[in-house]
Amino acid sequence: MAGDINYPPADPTSPSPDYAAMLPYNKSARTRLPSETGGQLVPDRRVTEILAYTGFVDAAAKLFEERGDKELLRRTATDDRIDQLWVSGPLRDTITDYALLDTPADASDHHGLVVRIDLDRARTDNMWEYK
């Protein structure tokens, strides 16, 4: 699943949002209520935390965990890494590369995402099935 998720990544090691660059309507949609957080702006990670909790894997965060390359976690939009690519748990080990497309510079207000997967590495012993 890939797209403009519009919520900060579940992984708190991702850079904090740039609140100075964030438009007011994005602040209202992407942060927790100050009354819930002691008056501070805190990223609202609930949507992406549910994705992670249910077994989906953030491709950029997974490769960052393996490689430690902070470029994998850079912002995909002006203020945060809201564009994300997630795979199901059985595809976790298939992710071999991830990149942002940031040229041409004026193509969009968001970067494109590219992920490379190797389906020969897919887990077949733990398939997700609908019941």
**pLDDT class of 29 with cuts at 50, 70, 90:** confident
Q: How much of the chain, in percent, has pLDDT values that exceed 70? A: 97
Residue pLDDT, tens place only, 71-129: 999 988 888 999 999 999 989 999 999 999 888 877 777 888 999 999 999 888 877 66
Whole-number Å distance between alpha carbons of 89 and 92? 5
Give which of 83, 82, 77 is closest to 110, Cα–Cα. Answer: 77
Contact 44, 36 (CB under 8 A): no
* pLDDT score recorded for residue 61: 96
**pLDDT class of 65 with cuts at 50, 70, 90:** very high
**pLDDT class of 130 with cuts at 50, 70, 90:** low
pTM: 0.87
* pLDDT score recorded for residue 60: 96
* pLDDT score recorded for residue 15: 84
For residue 84, the 8-state DSSP code is E
